[in-house]
Amino acid sequence: MTLQSPQQSDHLIPLANLMDLSVGTLTAVNIDGVELVLVNNAGDIKAFEGRCPHMGTLLAEGELQNGELVCRTHHWRFDCVTGKKSHSHGICLAKLPLQIKAGKVLASASELATFARDSDTSGTETRDTEISFDPSINDAATQHAPTSDSRSNLLEMESLPGPRPLPLLGNMLSIDRRAFHRTLEAWAQQHGAVYRCWMGRKSMVVVSDEGISNAILKARPDTFRRTSQLEVVSISGMNTHGVFMAEGSRWRKQRPVIMQSLDTRHLKQFFPVLVAVTDRLRRRWSGAGRQVVDVQSDLMRFTVDVTTSLAFGQDTNTLETEGDVIQQHLDKIFPTLQRRLLMPFAYWHYFRLPADREAEKSVGIVYQAVTKFIEQAKKALDDSPQLRENPENLLQSLLMAATSEDVAVEGEGFSEKEVADNVMTMLLAGEDTTANSLAWTIYFLVKYPEVQHKLRAEIVSVLGDAPITEFEQLRDLPYLDGVIHEAMRLKPVAPLNVVEANVDCIVDNLSFKKGDFVTILARAMAINPSDFPDAQSYKPERWLANARINVGAGAGAGASVGVGAGDKGERQVNQRAFIPFGSGPRLCPGRSLALLEMKMVLVMMMQNFAISPGADLDKVREELSFTMSPRGLLLAFAALAD
């Protein structure tokens, strides 16, 4: 539908059925590209702009707490009646007037058009970098069209600095294929926060400017999308129908189902299972003869077990199973995708290398497991009809969405390919990212023993010697949060994010054409000294408000670790320059689960083990296989009782 201007004839537009808005819930609505969040606070229904003015996170993915809407990213809180941000006089969500008639929640077309303009200019803490459009692209963008003065300052891709390319190959011969991100980061130091390089005959803009990066990520999925190259490099036998690769309306359809299964309520219900899986990891590390551990491999098993239990209701128990396990086949997929992304031409369309054949075999084996998961979930729904009203896990929710009569009538139901591909997406994303983030965090704990000691002291002071049994106990460990955040700042497992322009557009003063590739360098942003003082040092305290902890002299190479956060005792971080889970509406849906898993493992470690290097830490290297992992990280585990 097309939004009406105030001068056009007005009519009422239905936003939702009243009966679908349960008390205490948030509901996302998209009307012709206008994002809304409907809030039912104790029966009082309000409609606000759908994205947080801070970093563009979808507000419908947050929570209602004591009459406030809480954003999931950095916990900004907004009053459910006025939309005003707590403890801020200048920030307020744009609010849309509503009418409720005949069991429907309605808004007038004229007021919705006015709201669309107002929400673009609602108060923010800092001025966002602007995105504008050429009026010739579509009429809806004309209100954002750049002026003639701004056009004179535009930077076209051709005018950007960058490494000199070779004919046909571009800069392909200059890249480190095992650590592509480090090549791009080195070029950023040489050519600046915005430059251009060539991947074969395709040019790519590389950005480490915080304002431009956030503007691009906030403009997904409409103005920018994930790179279409992911479809080109897909391994034979893989689908690309899941939420990770979905775009536009297909993404909007899938995202709420995924998020609902990963919200706080479901994580609390799942917590006892997470406790049990974490204890399996403790037993594995304390087993006889396991003095030196390939920690990353074990963490991969842990995250696979957590993901299959939470998302699919299946206990794969790879932690206590040797031999051929699903984790070993998942491990072959990302390296193949990464290798193909850095090839000058798509050779696999013409012939297969042994590594390609192995990856295809592994994909087939994983999809066999996925098929079994789906069959067992269908059987559970048939055996227990009550689950159709209250699904227990993501897979059951996906299957219900696929068979729902309401969405089937509208032609918006899930296909079986979409169900299967979302299962695959959860397996891959749930395994790699969290396991590698944990491994890098443990790397820093071993590298800086004083941090390990302080973390253990905090855990003992809050929990004593007792293991965690309640979800809420993890909220009282601020130093643990700092340890994790600082590891993700210096060693983000997703150090780069490649997107593609859907339309011709202008970001700040950069001009992009439809199909242009943009790579955002997350770590380069997070080590900017203006945003993170002493940026190269590992300082968990920088994340703590009013921190004044000092490790004292004699800390050697880690002397900077533990120094207070500054003379004012305030956090020294720019949250907008810290995007380990991405930013904007496509913020990683598994963020809360990943942080929960990391906290559980680290608490268990600190309560049970003293950890030390099992090999030279200086030889641990960053390897990028879609995610950045620590190759060569071997650790020695000694029971604290010893």
pLDDT tens across 8-21, in order?
A: 457 899 999 999 89
Domain boundary among 120, 155, 189: 120
Instruction: Report if residue 4 sits inside a domain.
Output: no
Please give, one letter per residue, the 3-state secondary structure of 254-295.
HHHHHHHHCCHHHHHHHHHHHHHHHHHHHHHHCCCCCCEEEH
Domain boundary among 120, 155, 175: 120
CATH at residue 104? 2.102.10.10
223: left (phi over 0), alpha (psi -120 to 50) or beta: alpha
Average pLDDT over residues 473-496: 96
Q: How confident is the model at residue 3 (pLDDT cuts 50, 70, 90)?
A: very low
Query: Tell me: the pLDDT tens digits for 406-463?
Result: 443 344 567 888 898 999 988 888 888 999 999 999 999 999 999 999 999 999 999 9
Average pLDDT over residues 521-539: 96
Q: How far is CA 593 from the centre of its chain?
A: 11
Instruction: Report if residue 627 sits inside a domain.
Output: yes
Instruction: Report if residue 510 sits inside a domain.
Output: no
Query: Tell me: the pLDDT tens digits for 586-598?
Result: 999 999 999 999 9
Residue 133: per-residue pLDDT: 65
Instruction: Report if residue 397 sits inside a domain.
Output: yes
Average pLDDT over residues 457-483: 93
User: What's the mean per-residue pLDDT of the chain?
Assistant: 86
Q: How confident is the model at residue 570 (pLDDT cuts 50, 70, 90)?
A: low
**Residue 495 · residue 526 · CB < 8 Å:** no
Q: Are residues 115 and 254 in the same domain?
A: no
Nearest to 301 by CA among 267, 333, 331, 276: 331
CATH at residue 294? 1.10.630.10
**Number of helices (H) and strands (E), helices first, in the chain?**
18, 23
Q: How confident is the model at residue 287 (pLDDT cuts 50, 70, 90)?
A: confident
Q: Are residues 274 and 412 in the same domain?
A: yes
| DSSP per-residue codes, 65-99 | ETTEEE-TTT--EEETTT-BBTT-SS-B--EE--E
Q: Which two tokens stand for residue 551?
A: 């490790």
434: left (phi over 0), alpha (psi -120 to 50) or beta: alpha
Q: For residues 549 and 561, what is the distance between their CA atoms, to the nearest angstrom?
A: 10
Q: Is the pLDDT of residue 289 over 80?
A: no
Q: How confident is the model at residue 124 (pLDDT cuts 50, 70, 90)?
A: very low
Residue 134: per-residue pLDDT: 53
Q: Which residues of 580-609 are buried (b: 16+ CB within 10 A; e: fewer)?
A: bbbbbbbbbbbbbbbbbbbbbbbbbbbbbb
More confident residue, 567 or 598: 598
How many independent structural domains does the chain possess?
Answer: 2
Q: Are residues 113 and 261 in the same domain?
A: no
Instruction: Report if residue 302 sits inside a domain.
Output: yes
Query: Tell me: the pLDDT tens digits for 340-391?
Result: 999 888 999 999 999 999 999 999 999 999 999 999 999 999 999 898 888 8
Q: Are residues 115 and 258 in the same domain?
A: no
Query: Tell me: the pLDDT tens digits for 236-273?
Result: 888 778 888 889 888 988 999 899 888 888 899 999 99
Domain boundary among 71, 102, 120: 120
Instruction: Report if residue 172 sits inside a domain.
Output: no
Whole domain around residue 70: which residue ranges? 12-120
Residue 129: per-residue pLDDT: 66
Instruction: Report if residue 111 sits inside a domain.
Output: yes
Residue 290: per-residue pLDDT: 58
Instruction: Report if residue 574 sits inside a domain.
Output: no
Residue 273: per-residue pLDDT: 93
